[in-house]
Structure 1
Amino acid sequence: MGGVFNGWTEQAFEVLLRLEGDPPPRLRESLRRDREVHVRQPMIALLNDVADAVPALDDFSVWGFRKEIWWWQHQSAVIRIARQVEIGLRFDLDGLHLKAGWHYPDPGQVPRYRAAVAALTSGTDLAELVARLAADGYEITGDLMRRVPRGTPADHPRAELLRHRSLLAARPLVTDTAALTPSAVDRVTAAARELAPFLSWLAHHVAATPRRPI
């Protein structure tokens, strides 16, 4: 299915319900085709429609089947913004979830991040972006050190941000009811534009790669 996204169907939820818990391999395999058609292919259609609406979001992958049951119970996808800067999407029985930002850092990215956070102008910019996202209902998460980096004063004005070794903004995007409609396309594109300044900061200061504007 290349696109048009018409929402996930009731069959998608029925398949995922049957995959709850720890289903035996035989049941899993019997649902493989239905899961592909009703769960994974709509995610591909969704991201094709998103890319048509916002060409900068055209670099995406939709994960297939893996051995662990979690991957059968949740359909994940990722839109790449820059090196290790991504918008992640996950569809499951609760609907569609979004988690965007920087994670799984490459060598050199953590020092670049810390230097940019410590610098007055870039650090203040990030603090304001993160505060704005939190006020808009995003949960700010990531891999945090127990303390600020060595040599950093404990009372640094951006001490909390300096503890991060990854930085993500997450929120539910579409409820299970809304997932039955095409509205997810507009919600993903709206969230991407809302997140654009945050993702641009990470692309510039952490990934150190140019990117197209969202």
Structure 2
Amino acid sequence: MTFTGFPEAAFDFYDDLEVDNSKVFWEAHKDIYRSAVLEPITALTDELADEFGPAKIFRPHRDVRFSKDKTPFKTHQGAFVASGPATGYYLQIAAPGFRVGSGFYDAPAERLANIRKAIDNNRHGAELAKIIASLVRGGWELGGTTLKTAPRGYDVDHPRIELLRHKSLSVTRDYGFDEIIHSAKLVNRIRTHWRETTPLLDWLADHA
């Protein structure tokens, strides 16, 4: 299937799902989910796979076993292309619009320690800071979960303390409701933007 863009019905579907997140609504509208969301995002990631690799398209159902929020369905559809453990490229469609991102969303203690050791290193840490500064200047937003203070073993006055605080780290770019979302041109827009983040993923591959 060739990607031709997401229809407006994709955004309408998630607008309505936020109002009525129930199995009754889902069953009544699952054909819209399939045609307006699942099929286009599958075609989109298939076209990106030649350069970035195959994507994992996340299930629409929420895992509510350990959550106080028992709503059964996610109010967004995401897809992830791994470049390493819990690291890679991301895209998502939801009621607020379309967005892309890159980075790592989880790291066990040893891997996180390696990342922080590299950030602490004057050469490698400065390289990461330069990569992120360039991305932010180019319109990316830095995010991720962070500690409120310095991680154990590091001084609060460290020149890269803000990076050292990260337990996960990502950069995201919000497309909102740009008209390109509804056209085949979205494929090359994402290619361009994901390529911009490749130095970040390469740094993580080298040092994590």
- Structure 2-normalised TM-score? 0.89
Q: Which amino acid aligns with 1:132?
A: S
> What pairs with 1:124-135 in structure 2 (closer than 5 Å)?
124-135=126-137
Q: Which secondary structure does the structure 2 equivalent of 1:81 belong to?
A: strand
Residue number among 15, 37, 49 corresponding to 1:51 in the alignment:
49
Q: Which amino acid aligns with 1:66?
A: H
Q: Distance in 1 between matches of 2:53 and 2:109?
A: 26
> What pairs with 1:13-162 in structure 2 (closer than 5 Å)?
13-52=11-50, 54=51, 57-67=52-62, 68-69=71-72, 71=74, 73-162=75-164
Q: Which secondary structure does the structure 2 equivalent of 1:19 belong to?
A: helix
Identity over aligned pairs, percent:
28
Aligned-pair distance for 1:69? 4.9
2:67 paired residue number: none
1:12 paired residue number: 10
Which consecutive aligned stretches of 4+ in structure 1 deviate over 3 angstroms post-superposition?
67-70
Is residue 78–residue 90 contact of structure 2 (8 Å, CA) maintained in 1?
A: yes
Q: Which secondary structure does the structure 2 equivalent of 1:31 belong to?
A: helix
1:168 paired residue number: 170
**1:148-181 Cα shifts (integer Å, max 9, x gaps):** 1223222211111111111110111362532111
Aligned-pair distance for 1:21? 1.5
Is residue 23–residue 72 contact of structure 2 (8 Å, CA) maintained in 1?
A: no
Q: Distance in 2 between matches of 1:92 and 1:24?
A: 17
1:212 paired residue number: none
Is residue 39–residue 75 contact of structure 1 (8 Å, CA) maintained in 2?
A: yes
Q: Which secondary structure does the structure 1 equivalent of 2:18 belong to?
A: coil
Q: Which amino acid aligns with 1:12?
A: A
How many residues are matched?
200
2:65 paired residue number: none
Segments of 5+ residues of structure 1 without an aligned counterpart are 207-214
Aligned-pair distance for 1:193? 0.8
Segments of 5+ residues of structure 2 without an aligned counterpart are 63-70
Q: Verify: 1:197 aligned to 2:199, yes or no.
A: yes
Q: Distance in 1 between matches of 2:7 and 2:104?
A: 32
Is residue 44–residue 187 contact of structure 2 (8 Å, CA) maintained in 1?
A: yes
Q: Which amino acid aligns with 1:50?
A: L
- Structure 1-normalised TM-score? 0.86
For the aligned residues, what is the CA RMSD? 1.7
